[in-house]
Amino acid sequence: MSETTRHGDRPGTTGRSEEDWRSILSPEEYRVLREAGTERPFTGEYWDTRTEGVYECRACGAELFRSDTKFDAHCGWPSFYAPLAEDRVRYIKDTALGMERVEVRCAACDSHMGHVFGGEGFPTPTDLRYCINSVSVRLVPAAS
């Protein structure tokens, strides 16, 4: 997991201006995806879903997580132990709120997904918890 601290650097924004994003996204999607907001726990669409499929970025459609890496962390947000591939996300050191965290963004459009935490003791292969906002992703169910 590599990390960058350049908050002003917004790679891969697909050439869209913030006005474009405002016209494409709902106000809540814009607040979370483009302004690094957070939805309230236990309120999002996917925090407790068990549907098989792929979770894609709600802003640009890039495939980011698979349901087979999703686990119940009892935190109120969808939790995954790994992204679909490391090149699908990027990491930013986040020192807001008086603590050090690692923000997770979509590598394709630089939208905020959530944060990743390590060393919490979950019985997963990576000991990581990608704590992702439901509003940041869209589940594409596996073909039946």
Which residues are bridge partners to 48 per DSSP?
Answer: none
- What b-and-e string marks burial along 23-59, b requiring 16 or more CB atoms within 10 Å of the CB? eebeeebbbbbbebebbeeeebebbebeeebbbbbbb
**Interatomic CA distance for residues 26 and 3, integer angstroms:** 29
Is 109 a residue of the active site? no
- Of these residues, 60, 106, 109, 131, which one is catalytic? 131
How buried is 83 (Cβ within 10 angstroms: 0-12 exposed, 13-18 middle, 19+ buried)? buried
**Interatomic CA distance for residues 122 and 127, integer angstroms:** 6
**Interatomic CA distance for residues 39 and 133, integer angstroms:** 6
Residues annotated catalytic, as ranges: 131
